Amino acid sequence: MRKRSRIITSIISTALLGASVLTGTNSALAADGGLAPYDPSHAGGTITLVAAAAAGTLDPKVNYTGQYWELYQATYDGLLAFKYADGKGSFEIVPDLATALPVFSNGEKTLTFTLRSGIKFSNGQPVTVADVKASFERIFKVSSPTAGSFYNGIVGATACLKVPATCNLDKGVVVDPKKNSIVINLVAPDETITSKLAVPHAAINPASSPSKDAGTTPIPTTGPYMYKSYDPNKELVMVRNPYFKEWSHDAQPQGYPDEIDYKFGITPTAQVTAVENNQANWVYDPIPADRLNEIGTKYASQVHVNPLTAMWYLPMNVNIAPFNNVRARQAVDYAIDRAAMVKIFGGTQLAAPVCSFLPPNFPGHVDYCGYTKGATPDKPAVSWTAPDLALAKKLVQESGTAGQAVGIVVSDDDVNKQMGVYLQSVLNSIGYKATVKPISGNIQFTYIQNTKNKVQISVTQWYQDYPAASDFLNVLLGCASFTPNSDSSINISGYCNRSFDTQMQTAMGLGLTNPTAGNKLWGQLDEQVMKDAPVAVAFTPKQLDFISSGTKNYHFSLQYKMFVDQLQTK
């Protein structure tokens, strides 16, 4: 998942994954790492969130932005959910609309659920197994961005992907209204299927939901909040769902504010000022670089910094010059000064240089760096220390690509533009003629994916959808993720190595039977693919949340970040 034009410029802490909040945390935790029981004495009030722009469609099957996935926690539910818990606890998958975790059978290819009874949508209609089946079919009917990558393993999905309008999952999602049971049949075992069933694209919506992107029209919810109104140019208003009754504190706890207002069209610097003045509760956008020191000193108790499983990276198009030459790509990997990029991002408190594809403390991650001074991909160092410009220049000369023009496509926000200018300086210094092409953050991510645009190199980010190595390596570098001439071709480099793909399938299979061996293989695949250098990984960022002084009960989930509905104003 990628954040909307997002740069998380704010962010700090050298804490390891799991040490969630750096300062001023007032979170109440249950003994098991989950949230403390609901305390009605803190309920009420309005939480105001501010952002520069909305994140597009409100449809939970279509929207693929961190900005709205953060809200979907409080509104939509799937059969399963990631636990409402701080830190690593949020990676635990718990039953949500299902009564229990699925029972696996048929060689891990069949999952059986029982739907909870008595749950209603925010329009008053009961949630039925028919809604569940319709929701899975709707994933394909609305061409959800993850239909082909997350849910293509459901029996019948192949046909649905070919002809979405008539999608029928009679054999893939078998429901029994009498028993209130749901059986999901897969064509092959999938180690990450439970994670995929817990993300918003697998949320259960009414069967009457439109067979196309609902856009700005809210779809009835099951969580504690529903959408009252949505104007992407102005405001999104969430109010309490009158039909909600807490059925699982771990999956969907009751929320505290009576209303959540998300205001759009406010510049990042105005957002910071609004929070400082208690006119808003939370800033969505990255804190402007020249205000970081201010909030880190004057408002330190209102700053929360958390590590993220994410990366900033430079995809290089392996199918067009000059990066269709592996030496040219390796040259870029050697040349970039990751410490300099961390400085542009906001300093060492906010990010850390990395070389590996899988982020630190992520399943399968191995500490290695093949592209640092004194190391090679075959004899990697433990970590990145410094760039090697001399070697980079030599590789460019050897590749025969010196003097070629290179266009760098970046988002037009300050941090990305600065990254682009820095990269231009580096590429010029190793022998290319580089130009920076800043384009609107609203389209940059899809623009760089489409091969029609002939993008040679770009700067972008990736944030995990769920905690599994396949969400990075398979999603971003798998052949199935490369679709020429499409805006939805998340394998931006266009890297397709069949042998590597086969090994990834093996790793995914191992994840089911022997997760330790699976993760070890993922680590090896990480090192292996970086020898081909389809991307240059720059650094791993951290998340900074800046909340107003009157806002309490801050909790941070490593899965979906801040729990908006758990914030208190009383």
CA 502 → CA 150, 211, 351, 496, 505, distances in Å? 18, 35, 33, 11, 5
If one asks whether residue 418 binds another protein (CB under 8 A), the answer comes out as yes
The residues that bridge with 283 in the sheet, in sequence order, are 50
Give dist(CA 528, CA 531) in Å, integer: 6
If one asks whether residue 459 binds another protein (CB under 8 A), the answer comes out as no
User: 336 burial class (0-12, 13-18, 19+ CB within 10 angstroms)?
Assistant: buried
Which one, 81 or 305, has the nearer CB to another protein? 305
CA 500 → CA 190, 374, 413, distances in Å? 18, 27, 35
> Which region holds residue 5: left if phi is over 0, alpha if psi is between -120 and 50, else beta?
left
Q: Which of 186, 219, 310, 426 binds another protein (CB under 8 A)?
A: 426
Which one, 101 or 339, has the nearer CB to another protein? 339
Which of these ranges, 317-325, 333-341, 517-525, 529-537, lies near another protein under the rule CB under 8 A? 333-341
Which one, 212 or 437, has the nearer CB to another protein? 437
Q: Count interface residues toward another protein (CB under 8 A).
A: 47
With a CB cutoff of 8 Å and minimum separation 6, the contacts of 466 are 82, 192, 195, 196, 198, 199, 559
- At its nearest, how many Å lie between another protein and the CB of residue 53? 18
With a CB cutoff of 8 Å and minimum separation 6, the contacts of 414 are 288, 289
If one asks whether residue 273 binds another protein (CB under 8 A), the answer comes out as no
If one asks whether residue 266 binds another protein (CB under 8 A), the answer comes out as no
If one asks whether residue 346 binds another protein (CB under 8 A), the answer comes out as yes
Q: How many CA atoms lie within 13 A of 169 on its CB side?
A: 32
Supply the DSSP symbol for 341.
H
Which one, 349 or 361, has the nearer CB to another protein? 349
If one asks whether residue 130 binds another protein (CB under 8 A), the answer comes out as no
If one asks whether residue 543 binds another protein (CB under 8 A), the answer comes out as no
Three-class SS state of 262: strand
If one asks whether residue 20 binds another protein (CB under 8 A), the answer comes out as no
- At its nearest, how many Å lie between another protein and the CB of residue 546? 10
- At its nearest, how many Å lie between another protein and the CB of residue 562? 18
If one asks whether residue 33 binds another protein (CB under 8 A), the answer comes out as no
Q: Tell me which residue has tokens 């529903």.
A: 226
If one asks whether residue 298 binds another protein (CB under 8 A), the answer comes out as yes
Which of these ranges, 50-58, 196-204, 389-397, 420-428, lies near another protein under the rule CB under 8 A? 420-428
Q: Which of 36, 326, 340, 512 binds another protein (CB under 8 A)?
A: 340
If one asks whether residue 22 binds another protein (CB under 8 A), the answer comes out as yes
Q: Which two tokens stand for residue 474?
A: 């398979």
Which one, 324 or 349, has the nearer CB to another protein? 349
SS3 letters across 533-562: CCEEEEEEEEEEEEECCCCECCCEECCCEE
If one asks whether residue 249 binds another protein (CB under 8 A), the answer comes out as no
If one asks whether residue 295 binds another protein (CB under 8 A), the answer comes out as yes
Give the number of other CB atoms < 10 A from CB of residue 498: 8
If one asks whether residue 335 binds another protein (CB under 8 A), the answer comes out as no
With a CB cutoff of 8 Å and minimum separation 6, the contacts of 448 are 315, 409, 455, 458, 460, 492
If one asks whether residue 321 binds another protein (CB under 8 A), the answer comes out as no
- Longest Cα–Cα distance of the chain, Å, equals 71
Q: Phi and psi for 335 in degrees, rounded to 5?
A: -80, -35
Of 357, 440, 457, nearest to 406 by C-alpha is: 457
Q: Which of 99, 181, 435, 528 binds another protein (CB under 8 A)?
A: 435
Is beta strand 282-283 parallel, antiparallel or unpaired with respect to 556-557? unpaired
CB contact at 8 A, 198 and 76: no
- At its nearest, how many Å lie between another protein and the CB of residue 507? 37
- At its nearest, how many Å lie between another protein and the CB of residue 22? 7
Q: Which of 437, 480, 488, 528 binds another protein (CB under 8 A)?
A: 437
Supply the DSSP symbol for 322.
T
Give dist(CA 478, CA 497) in Å, integer: 8
Which one, 132 or 305, has the nearer CB to another protein? 305
Q: Which of 166, 229, 278, 429 binds another protein (CB under 8 A)?
A: 429
Which one, 291 or 552, has the nearer CB to another protein? 291
If one asks whether residue 393 binds another protein (CB under 8 A), the answer comes out as no
Q: List the x/- string, 75-114, binding to another protein by CB under 8 A.
A: ----------------------------------------
If one asks whether residue 373 binds another protein (CB under 8 A), the answer comes out as no
If one asks whether residue 337 binds another protein (CB under 8 A), the answer comes out as yes
Q: Which of 349, 397, 446, 483 binds another protein (CB under 8 A)?
A: 349
If one asks whether residue 305 binds another protein (CB under 8 A), the answer comes out as yes
- At its nearest, how many Å lie between another protein and the CB of residue 155? 46
Q: Which string of DSSP letters, residue by residue, matches 45-60?
A: SEEEEE-SS--S---T
If one asks whether residue 422 binds another protein (CB under 8 A), the answer comes out as yes
Supply the DSSP symbol for 490.
-
If one asks whether residue 438 binds another protein (CB under 8 A), the answer comes out as yes
> Which region holds residue 165: left if phi is over 0, alpha if psi is between -120 and 50, else beta?
alpha
- At its nearest, how many Å lie between another protein and the CB of residue 555? 20
Point out which residues bind another protein (CB under 8 A).
Answer: 10, 12, 22-23, 269, 288-298, 300, 303, 305, 337, 339-340, 343-344, 346-350, 405, 412, 414, 417-418, 420-422, 424-426, 428-429, 435-438, 544
